[in-house]
Structure 1
Amino acid sequence: MIKPKAKKIFGFSLIITSIFSLYFVPWLLVKAWLLPLPNTIQQQLDEAIEHGFDGMIVYINQTGQPAQVYTAGWHNKEAKVAAKPKALFKIASISKLYDAVAVAKLVNDGKLSLNKSLADYLPELVGQIQYAESITLKMMVEHRSGIPNFTDTENFWGTPTETYEESLALILNKPANFKPGDGYEYSNTNYLLINKIMDEALGYDNFQFIKARTLTPLNLVNTYSGLDEVTLEQVMSGYHVGHPFDLKEDEHGMLATAEDVGLFVKALNDGSVFSGKEQEIYSSIYKFEHAGWVPGYQSFANYYKDLDAVVIQFYSTTDPKLYNWNLSEIINSRIAKILTNQKNTSPN
């Protein structure tokens, strides 16, 4: 997110720094940041569409208020179908929250141990992933393993992999980015391996476990493991600047409605998704909100403690330089400010 400078710099250097910074900051981001704050969430969504997003869905679940879903733009731009509140969306790395909950449950069940190593769980990777004997499951959950990120491979999103084996092959026999536990670096490879470990421990696809132990108890019936479980008409179209085609047919894992994600994140933060010592285990290994990105789809699952509100934001347009990511973070912050203003002026 692009932020104003926190430190004051005086005299000529301030002028030079300001001119230099503004020259390299896209004016659209400056405009979005400086525009007067709208009074309503819907006005903010409409403004976001004017900034260039093709479609948006926002779900808000605030304690003491009825849940609300807002939409703007297109569900399918080519067919001129307006954005739908119950559209399915590719939630990308938000799925890591579901994975981490599953890990906590399996640890509580005694099927996994946070202190066992990658070598213990997948011994075939010894010698192919550096420090496999020292990388614990906990380190992988927390992104402290040092294992390189397979999606950082050159031109990955131009020709994405389709299987576990293809994805893993991109980082095998490469040096670690740091020694296990000595640093932090977000790596999708960690969760590629965690999903494999869960599959091996369970003896079946771990999404079945997620469905049985998380989705079904919360009555989340609009969350799916992939495109093969849904019809394409249910899926919101995704667009990438400079790419001529709708990206909805590309397989990128979990899909869900904004409402389903919101109810899950609410249960994650209020603890109702857990039982026994699961919440304690989860709190020791992972966070309680997340964002996701795949071409055509940006998603944000936020919890604002001061508002006691879950806010889910889906944007159906991405771009190569990630300007839209910065823009969406500006819009997210403005949505939070609108909610704060509404709370402060509420007669209750």
Structure 2
Amino acid sequence: MTDTTPHTPGPTTGPASADGSGRAPIPVRVQEVLDRAVAEQGFPGYSVQIRQGERSSFGAAGFADTGSGRERLPQERFRIGSTTKTFAAILLLRLEAEGVLSLDDTVETWLPDLVRGNGNDGRSITLEQLLSMTSGLFNYVLDEDILVRFNGPGFLEHRFDSFTPEELVRTALAHPPEHSPGQGWNYCNTGYFLAGMIIERATGQTFARQVEQHLARPLGLTSTYVPGEEKDIPGTHARHYSRLYASAPDAPVYDVTELNASAAWAAGGMVSSTTDLNHFFAALLRGDLLPPAQQARMFTTAPTPEGKWLPIPDTTYGLGMSSLTLAGGDTVWGMGGAINGSFCFTYGTRDGGLVISQSINCDWGNPIGAFAELLDTALRSPSLRPKGI
């Protein structure tokens, strides 16, 4: 029997910093990156939380709410977009470690007759290829009808539309594959919808309950959850602002905090905080969340084709995990995410000793460039730079 019990997120607190405040001072040059990004790119607010071992520091510029002038806070919630993929990948890898399934299984094994038509064949696609984005499946978010609904003015009319995973998978399957399974790489949310469906089929529980039971609750991630049909973000949260992807700097700004995240679900629908994300990624990077075999598989990455993912050179992708090499030569590991009105980025050193989570509460400008600059600045700061790199 499938578990359909709704999830109720906990209060907006999380793993505490050493002094309990989350507000130890950040390096001056890191604060300068925040201030400059807000001033030059017009971001409403930009926050960063830096975790060194068990110590945390927090910095911000701009506002969580431009109407009230409320400042950004370390415990505030926001939508994390594709960082959701890391949670989904871990759940599938844990099921492999438990012997419930194998990443070498085909999609057909778990979802019979679903992935068929237009050259798509679930009998030839493995679960690992779903996570590594090498399945070749069309990314449903690029479907013309979906683009009309969620980009530009159409988003204001359709942001509360509800979708089932099956609907969006069928949308993807109306298109031929981008390439044969395992013979290329394309950023693909469809694969993570299928992964979420397989997690539910294999466990008899919802994806939301699996995240709560196996990751959020054991780690004390009290601001981290998978929304259901609710449109609001409960508790302390940043307002999310959008120009509907218009490029003009004077384009109207809309508050799009409330939306139905079912169109993103296991590929990008979760909510979290910088506090929780730092705690989660530190545990993952240390090797606390997966057995060694699955950890190694998750972190086995391949270069991403130029122009097909982050506009940063020297990026690689594994299974819900990526690495990028910064301008200063340091390599960091983690994941980023974007959804209407929100960008976030959480990356750290390979041993998890230093993890940095960033959030910008809008969807314009060059957030990824700002994130990369801040990471590079932080790792070059004497007070933060880990020994040995």
Q: Within 5 Å, which residues of 2 pair with 1:71-82? A: 71-82=60-71
Correspondence for 2:379 among 317, 340, 344: 340
SS at match of 1:313: strand
**2:19: which partner in 1?**
none
Query: How far apart, CA to CA, are the structure 1 residues paired with 2:132 and 2:122?
Result: 16
Tell whether the 8 Å contact from 2:285 to 2:350 is kept in structure 1 after alignment. Answer: no
Q: Is the counterpart of residue 298 in structure 1 residue 343 in structure 2? A: yes
TM-score, scaled to structure 1: 0.79
**2:78: which partner in 1?**
89
For the pair shown, which has the larger CA radius of gyration, 1 or 2? 1
Higher helix share: 1
Q: Is the counterpart of residue 236 in structure 1 residue 245 in structure 2? A: no
SS at match of 1:301: strand
After superposition, the Cα gap between the structure-2 partners of 1:128 and 1:87, relative to the gap in structure 1 and judged at 3 Å, is: same
Query: How far apart, CA to CA, are the structure 2 residues paired with 1:97 and 1:189?
Result: 15
Q: Is the counterpart of residue 250 in structure 1 residue 255 in structure 2? A: no
Query: How far apart, CA to CA, are the structure 1 residues paired with 2:352 and 2:90?
Result: 24
Tell whether the 8 Å contact from 1:239 to 1:246 is kept in structure 2 after alignment. Answer: yes
**2:137: which partner in 1?**
147
TM-score, scaled to structure 2: 0.71
**2:182: which partner in 1?**
181
Task: Tell me the amino acid that sits aligned with residue 269 of structure 1.
Answer: L
Q: Give the CA deviation at 1:304.
A: 3.5
| Number of aligned residue pairs | 303
Task: Tell me the amino acid that sits aligned with residue 248 of structure 1.
Answer: T
Unmatched 5+ residue regions in structure 2?
Answer: 1-26, 244-250, 262-268, 301-317, 322-332
Structure 1 window deviating more from structure 2 (107-116 vs 220-229): it is: 220-229
Q: Give the CA deviation at 1:293.
A: 1.0
Q: CA RMSD in A?
A: 2.6
Q: Within 5 Å, which residues of 2 pair with 1:304-323? A: 304-305=349-350, 308-319=353-364
After superposition, the Cα gap between the structure-2 partners of 1:340 and 1:211, relative to the gap in structure 1 and judged at 3 Å, is: same
Q: Within 5 Å, which residues of 2 pair with 1:1-348? A: 39-51=28-40, 52-63=42-53, 66-128=55-117, 130-154=120-144, 155-157=148-150, 158=155, 159=158, 162-163=162-163, 164-226=165-227, 228=230, 231-232=233-234, 234-241=236-243, 242-252=251-261, 253-275=269-291, 277-284=293-300, 286=319, 287=321, 288-305=333-350, 308-319=353-364, 324=365, 327-343=366-382
Unmatched 5+ residue regions in structure 1?
Answer: 1-37
Q: Give the CA deviation at 1:74.
A: 1.4
Task: Tell me the amino acid that sits aligned with residue 135 of structure 2.
Answer: S
% same residue: 24
Tell whether the 8 Å contact from 2:285 to 2:351 is kept in structure 1 after alignment. Answer: no
SS at match of 2:62: strand
SS at match of 1:289: strand
Q: Give the CA deviation at 1:44.
A: 2.0
Query: How far apart, CA to CA, are the structure 2 residues paired with 1:271 and 1:261?
Result: 15
